[in-house]
Amino acid sequence: MFDALRISLIVKSCSLFIIFLVYFNTTAAQRIYIKIENLHVSNATLSSLEGEKISFIDTISINDEGSFEFNFDDVKNHLGFYRLSLNNNKSIDFVYDKEDVVIETDANNVLDNLKVIKSESNKIYYEFVKRNKDYKTKTELLQLILARYPKNNEYYQITTEELIQVQEDYLNFVNLTSQTNPNSFVARYVRSAQLTVVETNIPFAEKLTYLKTHALENVNFYDDGLIYSDAFINKTIDYLTYYRNPQLPLELLEKEFMIAVDTILTKAKVNSIVYQHIVEYLIDGFRNFGFDQSIDYIVDNYVIKDDLCLDEKLGNTIERRIQQAKNFKIGSAVPNIIIKDSSNSLIKLNEINSDNTLIIFYASGALIVNL
């Protein structure tokens, strides 16, 4: 009996020990170590990124080695992009992807001198940034040549082959090299943030139509974890540019943007978090450029219809627009209006007993007329 009891206690102790080890391993801290030469500051600001939003986390002091070192874990820190902001508007972005990160650079030229010593995810991310830049530069030049060069010329064929090779190299990185760990944050990010490759057999004049049709195909709108990156925002910006025509008057340009908005938000609706993330960005962006019709369109057709609760940081102006749109929606009861008549007496709209009432609004007030 005592032997059985002792065995039971040993088994329970071992089970608890195993559970403790599993818990310890899953919550182990990841070391973030960033060394910057020629940096004459004693601290830096650590923030998390969500599209274009920057959320302050902490102030990090430089250690005795002249480096910034801190720990992350899955409980306190979500996967995604983070930023260490230095002086003079300089900063270093890095990906937290459940691994130690060691980055070295020089303050005189942070990006060009940046080296990822440890962290496969950050090596992939910075290689992806470089390849995107190179791909854009090369393909724009090659496609410009193909658009103007005679097809029966030998150089046209050489240029076409070069373009195909550039595209194959880019897609090989996106689909193979970056996907060693397909469930990692950076692999998911690359799949959704990849540039759209236009097939070489598409005529130059039809390229824009192709982009409008296919540019959002690789974006995983179901993956709300990607809001902690620039994936959705950059794709939204790129897609809007396909509808931007500087020659159009403002009213027609906004109508073009509304077409783009419908495409983007229809796809984003599959995930409520991603949907709200993009809606807030669109409203804020259109507000900065003075595109009021586009804002009203989004408010009427998406915010109100789907009862979205937007970030209060968008400001009181947007909130008033939403409330006004709700209150003055066609078919809804007119809210009570109280104004003074010519004798300075108050008139309440809901107390007027008349078959027809005309309300005239003008810059300095309103006029109520019974018909």
Beta bridge partners of 96: 80
pLDDT tier for residue 323 given thresholds of 50, 70 and 90: low
Distance of CA 65 to the CA centre of its chain: 35
In 3D space, the residue among 2, 230, 32, 224 whose CA is nearest the CA of residue 122 turns out to be: 32
pLDDT at 98: 95
- Determine how β-strand 101-106 pairs with β-strand 30-37: parallel
pLDDT 10s digits, 204-233: 889 999 999 999 999 999 999 999 999 999
AA identity, residue 53: K
Query: 77: which 2 tokens?
Result: 């820190």
AA identity, residue 22: V
What percent of the chain is modeled with pLDDT above 70? Answer: 80
pLDDT at 205: 85
Residues contacting residue 31 through CB under 8 Å, at least 6 positions apart: 69, 71, 100, 101, 102
pLDDT tier for residue 235 given thresholds of 50, 70 and 90: very high
Q: Please report which helix (H) or strand (E) contains residue 145, including its range.
A: helix 120-148
pLDDT 10s digits, 4-34: 545 454 445 445 444 444 444 455 789 999 9
141 vs 41: CA distance, rounded Å: 42
Interval 168-177 mean pLDDT: 98
50 vs 82: CA distance, rounded Å: 9
Q: What's this model's pTM, rounded to 2 decimal places? A: 0.80
Under 8 Å between Cβ of 176 and 194: no
Helix, strand, coil content of the chain in percent (nearest 5) = 50, 20, 30
pLDDT at 356: 75
169 vs 162: CA distance, rounded Å: 11
pLDDT at 79: 97
Interval 42-56 mean pLDDT: 95
pLDDT 10s digits, 92-115: 999 999 999 999 999 999 999 999
Interval 298-317 mean pLDDT: 80
Interval 323-331 mean pLDDT: 58
User: Which of 57-61, 228-232, 341-345 shows the lowest mean pLDDT across its residues?
Assistant: 341-345
pLDDT at 268: 97
The alpha helices in 184-335, defined as continuous H runs, are 185-193, 207-214, 231-241, 250-268, 272-288, 292-298, 316-327
Give the mean pLDDT of the chain: 86
Residue 322 pLDDT more than 90?
Answer: no
Phi-psi label, residue 180: left if phi above 0, alpha if psi -120 to 50, beta otherwise = alpha
Instruction: Write b or e for each residue in 329-338: b if 16 or more Cβ atoms lie within 10 A of its Cβ, otherwise e.
Output: eeeeeeeeee
User: Which of 71-75, 142-146, 187-191, 323-327 shows the lowest mean pLDDT across its residues?
Assistant: 323-327
Helix axes 185-193, 231-241, angle to 10 degrees: 0
pLDDT at 333: 67
Phi-psi label, residue 309: left if phi above 0, alpha if psi -120 to 50, beta otherwise = beta
